Amino acid sequence: MESLTGRGVELLCLAVGGEHFHLLGRFEHSETRRVIGLAKLHAYHRLSGEIGQRRIWAKRSRSLPIRDRRHQVNVYAYIMKHRDGGAWTWSYREGLYWADESG
**Averages of pLDDT over each 10 residues, the chain, 103 residues:** 85 87 86 84 74 62 90 97 94 70 43
| Domain assignment present for 99 | no
Of 41, 39, 15, 42, the residue nearest 27 (C-alpha): 39
- Sheet architecture: strand order including 21-26: 21-26, 10-16, 88-91
Q: Which helix (H) or strand (E) holds 80?
A: helix 69-80
| Structural domain for 57, as ranges | 2-92
Q: What is the pLDDT of residue 82?
A: 96
Assess if residue 103 is contained within a domain: no
Domain membership flag for residue 37? yes
Would residue 97 count as lying in a domain? no
Sequential DSSP letters for 6-72: HTT-EEEEEEE-SS-EEEEEE-SSS-HHHHHHHHHHHHHHHHHHHHTT---S-S--------SHHHH
Give the separation between CA 93 and CA 98, rounded to whole angstroms: 14
Q: Examine residue 57 and state whether it is found in any structural domain, yes or no.
A: yes
Q: How many domains does the chain have?
A: 1
Question: Could you tell me if residue 100 is inside a domain?
Answer: no
Question: What pLDDT does 91 receive?
Answer: 92
| pLDDT in the model for residue 19 | 77
Q: Is residue 52 part of a domain?
A: yes
pLDDT of residue 103: 40
Q: What is the DSSP letter of 97?
A: -
pTM: 0.76
What is d(CA 64, CA 32) in angstroms, rounded to the nearest whole number?
10
